[in-house]
Amino acid sequence: MADSTSSANRFYLTTPIYYVNARPHLGHAYSTIVCDAIARRKRALGIETWFLTGTDEHGQKIERSAEQAGCSPQEFTTKIAAEFRGLWDRLGLTYDDFIRTTEERHKRGVQKLFSTLRDRGFIYKGSYSGQYCVFDEAYVEGPPGTPCPDCGRMTETVSEENYFFKLSAFERKLLEFYESNPGFMGPESTRREVISFVRSGLKDLSISRTSITWGIPVPGDEKHVIYVWLDALVNYITAIGYGSDDPKDQKKFEKFWPADIHLIGKEISRFHCVYWPAFLMAAGIPVPRSVRANGWLLFDQGKMSKSRGNIVRAETVDEVLGADALRYFLLREIPFGQDGNFSFDALVQRYNGDLANGYGNLVSRVVNMVHKYFGGVVPEMPSSDAPSIVQQTLEGFPAAFDALNFSGALQQLWALVAETDGYLTENAPWKKPTDRSDSDHQKLQARVLTDAAEGIRIITALVYPILPDAAAKVWRQLGQGEIGDAARNAFLKNLAWGGLTPGTKFGEPAPLFPRAEKDAIERMQNLEDSNNRSAVDAASQGEATALSQAAAAPSEVPATAVNTADGRANEALTPPTAGSSADQQHISIDDFAKVDLRVAQILVAERVPKADKLLRLEVDLGYEKRQILAGIAQYYEPEKLIGRKIVIVANLAPRKMRGLESNGMLLAASLPPDGAPVLAGFLEEVPLGARLK
φ/ψ (deg, to 5) at 251? -65, -40
The interface mask with ligand MSP, positions 5-24, x = CB under 6 A, is: -----------xxxx-----
Give least dist CB 17 to ligand MSP, A: 5
Rounded-to-integer distance, Cα 691 and Cα 453, Å: 80
Within 553-614, residue ranges assigned H as helices are: 567-573, 589-593
Give the H or E element holding residue 318.
helix 314-321
Nearer residue to ligand MSP within complex by CB, 263 or 597: 263
Number of residues interacting with ligand MSP: please give it, by CB under 6 A: 21
Residues contacting residue 254 through CB under 8 Å, at least 6 positions apart: none
Give least dist CB 16 to ligand MSP, A: 4
Nearer residue to ligand MSP within complex by CB, 45 or 212: 212
φ/ψ (deg, to 5) at 607? -75, 155
Among residues 36, 56, 318, 543, which is the contact residue for ligand MSP, using CB under 6 A? 56
Site for ligand MSP contains 95 (CB under 6 A):
no
Give least dist CB 83 to ligand MSP, A: 12
Site for ligand MSP contains 641 (CB under 6 A):
no
Question: Beta strands 297-299 and 340-341: pairing type?
Answer: parallel
Residues of this chain, 552-611, that bind ligand MSP according to CB under 6 A: none
- End-to-end CA distance of the chain: give it in Å, rounded: 68
CA dihedral 545, 548, 552, 556 (to 10 degrees): 80
Give least dist CB 28 to ligand MSP, A: 5
Query: 206, 163 in Cβ contact below 8 A?
Result: yes
Nearer residue to ligand MSP within complex by CB, 18 or 336: 18
Site for ligand MSP contains 110 (CB under 6 A):
no
Largest Cα span, the chain: 103
Query: 552, 577 in Cβ contact below 8 A?
Result: yes
Residues of this chain, 24-43, that bind ligand MSP according to CB under 6 A: 27-28, 30-31
Site for ligand MSP contains 465 (CB under 6 A):
no
Nearer residue to ligand MSP within complex by CB, 293 or 569: 293
Give least dist CB 36 to ligand MSP, A: 14
Site for ligand MSP contains 233 (CB under 6 A):
yes
Site for ligand MSP contains 398 (CB under 6 A):
no
Distance of alpha carbon 252 from the chain centroid:
28
**Cis link prior to 554 (omega < 30° from 0)?**
no
Nearer residue to ligand MSP within complex by CB, 191 or 613: 191
Nearer residue to ligand MSP within complex by CB, 31 or 560: 31
Site for ligand MSP contains 47 (CB under 6 A):
no
Site for ligand MSP contains 98 (CB under 6 A):
no
> Which class for 505: exposed (0-12), middle (13-18), buried (19 or more C-beta within 10 A)?
exposed
Rounded-to-integer distance, Cα 391 and Cα 385, Å: 10
Question: Beta strands 645-649 and 665-671: pairing type?
Answer: antiparallel
φ/ψ (deg, to 5) at 23? -70, 155
Nearer residue to ligand MSP within complex by CB, 62 or 325: 62
Give least dist CB 61 to ligand MSP, A: 9
Residues of this chain, 514-533, that bind ligand MSP according to CB under 6 A: none
Q: Which of 335, 272, 339, 260 is nearest to 51 (CA)?
A: 260
> Which class for 356: exposed (0-12), middle (13-18), buried (19 or more C-beta within 10 A)?
buried
Nearer residue to ligand MSP within complex by CB, 19 or 359: 19
Rounded-to-integer distance, Cα 520 and Cα 349, Å: 11
Burial per residue of 2-36, b for 16 or more beta-carbon CB atoms within 10 angstroms, e otherwise: bebbbeeeebbbbbbbbbbbbbbbbbbbbbbbbbb
Site for ligand MSP contains 243 (CB under 6 A):
no
Among residues 38, 44, 216, 232, which is the contact residue for ligand MSP, using CB under 6 A? 232
Give least dist CB 322 to ligand MSP, A: 21
Nearer residue to ligand MSP within complex by CB, 271 or 359: 271
Number of Cβ within a 10 Å radius of residue 70:
12
The interface mask with ligand MSP, positions 250-269, x = CB under 6 A, is: --------------xx--x-
The interface mask with ligand MSP, positions 293-312, x = CB under 6 A, is: -x-xx-----xxx-------
Give least dist CB 679 to ligand MSP, A: 37
Nearer residue to ligand MSP within complex by CB, 234 or 366: 234
Q: Give the footprint of ligand MSP on this chain (CB under 6 A).
A: 16-19, 27-28, 30-31, 56, 232-233, 235, 264-265, 268, 294, 296-297, 303-305
